[in-house]
Structure 1
Amino acid sequence: MRTLHKGLRPLYAPLLHPKHTVRIRSPLSISCGAPRRSFQTSASYRTIDLAYDLHDNGGKATGAPILILHGLFGSKKNNRSISKALARDLSRPVYAIDLRNHGDSAHDKAHNYIALAEDTEAFLEKHDLRDATLIGHSMGAKTVMTMALRNPDCCANIIPVDNAPVDAALSSDFPNYVEGMRKVENEKVNSQKAADEILEPFAKELPVRQFLLTNLTRPSPSEPLKFRIPVQILAKALDDMADFPFTDPDIRRFNKPALFMRGSRSHYVSDETIPIIGRFFPRFELMDIDAGHWVISENPEAFRRGVVEFLQDKE
């Protein structure tokens, strides 16, 4: 699992740190999105005070903190089980975060990686969290990469899960999910079953629908069900979620350890992205996990082992 394929050395070796290891899959092309919009990588947004759950193994976890950031349409609840396991195995407190416009955190019209990074940096400062490990899946992965490149001193290392520091079109599934959620709200349903039936044409897989429907709440007993996430805001943010705010690794670079974990059945971290990962994050390692894009929920044990091994190596 941790041997560099010799056939890649002429192409990748100049860009890789000696500790980088990768098991190669069949090459997949990067799906490029629309022409880049202008990102203000130093912009300052109104920061959101992020909701969180702290998992500290009953107070026994006292090491350096770990932050775990969910993906688009997710919440801190998605990472409850894995957070408890990591707190136990590593004896480190794990903060499961709700990013802006998700879970119990406040809503705001600005939803891009600079805003998400600034929120999380403010969270680290507010809670006086030093030498943190930042773990993020999908949207959360690009957020922790953005934080590491903006301010390398904000963390000790990062673990981006199934995303890469490139502009690449989101899976066409995500606009479908948004359309389905809009239809659920427009129909003013009163039951999860009714919502699931409306959503099914837009999200064929039951686990995906169950994931999306975790956001469905009833504001009051007399009102129909409604998504707690601001569907309209996130619909408008899909292009920003496909982008990455940094383009020049000669200007921005993170020279601390980074573990990139990718699903072996996902296209989000294709082999073609490896060189640019190596330039932005020269001390990176790459681990394949038998999963699709939803790595943590699809194969939590392999994910847990990979994180524990990586972080124990760094102690």
Structure 2
Amino acid sequence: MIIRHALPRLYAPFRPYASLSSSRRAFSTTELSNGITLAYDLHEPSKDAQKQDNEDAPPILFIHGLFGSKKNNRSMSKVFARELKRPVYALDMRNHGDSSHNPTHNYSALAEDVELFIQHHNLSKPTLIGHSMGAKTVMTVALREKVPIANLIPVDNAPVDAALHGDFNKYVQGMREIEEAKCKRQTDADAILKKYEDSLAIRQFLLGCFVRSEEGTYTAKVPLKILTAALAHMADFPFKDPDQTRFEGPMLMVRGTKSHYVADEMLPTVGRFFPKFELADIDAGHWVISEQPEEFRKAVVEFLQDKD
């Protein structure tokens, strides 16, 4: 449900989208003109479900958060493809999942990757959905005005400079310790992470960033050194003055009422950058999509069906 009033702000621990899965599946890749290769899954509506008069339905790009990947959004992407009858591209951003690594990791670079992906695939006025790091990325794309965007849905992050939750620094420490310990068993790796994080679900989410080396040891799939250096950039937002640039299209800001990333005092700034924004408050912490998937689905479907 889309609501336009503020709810009391509470606090809750982080929760991941999904637990660790050892299964592998095929995915596609696109080499961009800037040298970055992005991996992605394409979820298409069934032929029977497609609207006869809407064969070229506007696509959706779904972007994960820090330490996440395209697999986090797999289930919800399938739901949106089926219910909205649109193709959904779930991306791995640079330095995440199966995409390539690069020492530059900030929102301008992430936005450029998305823009080049849209141009490469000739996607016409897509909808952009992004959580956390992905939320700031999609808002940056919209404000850069390099590609036409129909609308966007940032999830639990605001267009402001705001410090990251301190847990992210702890997560990096734990992940580095796993590599240094050369763990060969998941139980050993999990025991190390337990020193930094009590939640089993979050530990499983972080273990999803690892693969087994040829020697059988747990090795981080993500470039920990690059992402550690990028933590400060992830707290920033590249645009400072709403009077200089705005996105005049529709936007749905989804926030968890138990999270602090989109506090009430940030909403006036959101409105200056995105004057047509609507607000969906969901009873969840920062990990809105996994904590309340049905409420998130309803908010997004209601918003996008109204725009068709």
Tell me, yes or no, whether TM beats 0.5.
Answer: yes
297-306 or 268-277, which moves further after superposition? 297-306
> Which residue, out of 44, 48, 53, partners 2:36?
48
Q: Distance in 2 between matches of 1:284 and 1:180?
A: 38
Matched, 1:230 2:212: no
Corresponding residue number in structure 1 for 2:198: 204
Alignment coverage as a number of residue pairs: 281
Q: CA deviation at 1:290?
A: 1.3
State the SS of the aligned residue for 1:245.
coil
1:99 aligns with 2:93: yes
The corresponding residue for 1:300 is: 293
Query: Which residue type is aligned with residue 249 of structure 1?
Result: P
Does the 8 A contact of 1:261 with 1:288 survive in 2?
A: yes
Measure the CA separation in 2 of the matches of 1:205 and 1:117. 32
The TM-score with structure 1 as length reference comes to 0.86
Native 8 Å contact 2:158 2:261 kept in 1:
yes
Aligned with 2:262 (options 260, 266, 269): 269
Structure 2 gaps of 5+ residues are 12-32
Please, what TM-score do these two structures have when normalized by structure 2? 0.88
Q: Which amino acid aligns with 2:284?
A: A
Q: 2:171 aligns with which of 170, 173, 177?
A: 177
The C-alpha deviation readout for 1:112-149, integer Å capped at 9, x for no partner, is 00000000101001111111000000000000000000
2:156 aligned partner: 162
CA contact (8 A) 2:59 2:127 kept: yes
How far does the alpha carbon of each residue in 1:222-267 deviate from its partner, in whole angstroms, 9 at most, with x for none?
2411111111110000000000000000111000000000011100
Taking a change above 3 Å as real, the CA distance of residues 47 and 245 of structure 1, as seen in their structure-2 partners, is farther
* Cα-Cα RMSD: 1.6
d(CA) in 1 for partners of 2:4 and 2:235? 24
Residue segments in structure 1 that go unaligned for 5+ positions in a row: 3-20, 30-44
- Structure 2 CA distance, aligned partners of 1:140 and 1:293? 13
Structure 2 SS opposite 1:26: coil
Partners of 1:241 and 1:154 lie apart in 2 by 24
Structure-2 residue corresponding to 1:32: none
User: Which of these residues, 22, 38, 55, is aligned with residue 4 of structure 2?
Assistant: 22
Shift of 1:152: 6.6
Q: Verify the 8 A CA contact 2:131 2:154 in the aligned structure 1.
A: yes
Give distance in 2, aligned partners of 1:155 and 1:125. 12
* C-alpha contact 1:47 1:115 (8 A) present in aligned 2: no
Relative to structure 1, the CA distance from residue 58 to residue 28 in structure 2 (aligned partners, 3 Å threshold; closer, same or farther) is: closer
1:244 and 2:237 matched: yes
Tell me the distance in 2 between the aligned counterparts of 1:138 and 1:253: 20
- Cα distance in 2 for partners of 1:198, 1:207 equals 15
| Contact 2:283–2:292, Cα closer than 8 Å, also in 1 | yes
- Match of 2:128, SS state, is strand
Alpha-carbon distance in 2 for matches of 1:64, 1:162? 24
Aligned letter for 1:127? Answer: H
Instruction: Give the letter aligned to residue 225 of structure 2.
Output: Q
Q: Does structure 2 retain, via aligned residues, the 8 Å contact 1:121–1:154?
A: no
Deviation at 1:281, TM superposition (A): 0.1
- Deviation digits for residues 57-113 of structure 1 (CA, Å, limit 9, x no counterpart): 345554110000000000000000000000000000000000000000000000000
In structure 2, how many angstroms separate the alpha carbons of the residues matched to 1:102 and 1:96?
12
The percentage of aligned residue pairs carrying the same residue is 58
Offset at 1:162?
0.2
Amino acid at match of 2:185: S
Q: Say which SS state the counterpart of residue 38 (structure 2) adopts.
A: coil
Q: How far apart are the structure 1 equivalents of 2:9 and 2:161? A: 18
